[in-house]
Amino acid sequence: MLTLRYKAETPIPVEVEGLTPSAVRTMPLAEIERFEIFHGNRKRPLAEFFDVSGDPSDARLEFEGSLSGVHWIGAQMSEGEVHIRGDAGRHVGSEMTGGTIHVHGNASDWVGGEMHGGLIHVHGHAGHLVGSAYRGSRLGMTGGTILVDGSVGNEVGLTLRRGLVAIGGNCGDFVGANMIAGTVLVFGESGNRPAAGMRRGTVGLLGGHPPALLVTFRKTCVCKPPVLRLALAHLQSLNFLVPDDCWDADYGVYNGDRVTVGRGEILVRESQAARASA
């Protein structure tokens, strides 16, 4: 295990893009200490900001300290494990294709931006645009799983193409906006305009007080979707807390968004559905 203890105090962003388990696993410590990262727009050696110790050969990195100003941790990683002991900055696990990231604290915006594979589990809260497409992209996240135990901001799963995003707490506006496919499940409350512009895929609003749905979604039935139980069981197997009252509830199925292809669905707990369409 390679331990990277953050020691710097700087208001300027520190970016560690490229510092992945596979990039450093065969490097001696001295070389890792010379690994160039960005401090603002200047390249600096890693050792100016981190105390480096341990052995990287098992492809496990442990980041320690107050890392809220450190961005792109685990970005583009393809294997191994990353543990962040503390708060993390933006773009955790961006474009990762494999491996596992655990944030044992809060994370900022863009967790798993355009992620392709692997698992990110944020044990605290996260910012905006979790599992989302970067601006301009035709496709967002195309695979993998993102779990956030706490609450998140706006635009979760923007232009999601494939994969699973689960939010244990509340989410902001535009969850699942422009979704192409894939699944976003929110166990807390949701902000306005969920799944706006979605083409296919599933957005599950499984918590209380769902917002009024857009008029371009039509209620088609009430059921206990078997696929939802499978998804919940999968989440439970990943140590994600699934509330007991989700398992056997009835869900209203709303198809849309009819401003586009209209083949997506929003699942709303039936006990709340009456409020949703009122």
Partner 1 sequence: MSSGFFKVAGGTVYDPVHGINGERRDIWIRDGKIVDAPPAPDVRPDKTIDASGLVVMPGGVDMHCHIAGPKVNSARKMRPEDKRKAEKVVRTAGTRSGTMGSVPSTFATGYKYAGMGYTTAFDAAIPPLAARHVHEEFEDTPCIDKGFFVLMGNNHFVMQSIQRKEPERLRSFIAWLLGAAKGYTPKIVNPGGVEVWKQLPSGNVHGLDENVEHFGVTARQIIEQVARAVEELRLPHSVHLHCNNLGMPGNWRTTLETMKTFGDSRGHLSHIQFHSYGGGDADETTFNSKAKELVEYVDAHPNLTVDVGQVLFGETTTMTADGPLGYYLSNAFKSKWFSSDTEMESGCGIAPIEYKNTSLVHSLQWAIGLEWYLLAKDPWRVVMSTDHPNGGSFLAYPQIIQLLMDRTYRHDMLKQVHPAVLERSTLGDLTREYSLYEICIITRSGPARILGLPNKGHLGPGADADITIYTPNDDKTKMFEMPRAVIKSGVLIVDQGEIREPLTGKLLYVAPEYDRGIESDVADWFEKYYSIRFRNYTVPLDYLHDAEEVRTA
Minimum separation from the CB atom of position 165 to partner 1 (A): 21
Task: By CB under 8 A, tell whether 226 contacts partner 1.
Answer: no
DSSP annotation string for 114-151: T--SSEEEESS---S-TT-PPTT-S----S-EEEESS-
> What is the closest distance, in whole angstroms, from the C-beta atom of residue 26 to partner 1 in the complex?
26
Q: Is 38 in the site for partner 1 (CB under 8 A)?
A: no
- Cα–Cα distances in angstroms (integers) from residue 78 to residues 19, 96, 118, 132, 228, in the given order: 11, 6, 8, 19, 29
Considering the complex, state which of residue 67 and residue 180 has its C-beta at the smaller distance from partner 1.
180
Place of tokens 């949703």: 276
Q: Least distance to partner 1 from the beta carbon of 18, Å?
A: 13
With contacts defined by CB under 8 A, name the span among 26-34, 47-55, 99-107, 131-139 that binds partner 1: 131-139
Taking CB under 8 A as the rule, which mask of x and - marks residues 138-167 in contact with partner 1? x-----------------------------
Total residues in contact with partner 1, by rule CB under 8 A: 5
Is residue 249 within 8 A of residue 241, CB to CB? The reply is: no
**Residue 265 identity (one-letter amino acid):** E
Query: Whole-number minimum distance, CB 41 to partner 1, in Å?
Result: 8
Cβ contact 107:167 at 8 Å: no
| Cβ proximity to partner 1, 87 vs 257, nearer residue | 257
Nearer to partner 1, 86 or 134 (CB): 134
Q: For residues 278 and 259, give the distance between their C-alpha atoms in angstroms, rounded to a whole number.
A: 21
Distance between CA atoms of residues 18 and 66, nearest Å? 20
Residues in touch with partner 1 (CB under 8 A)? 134-138
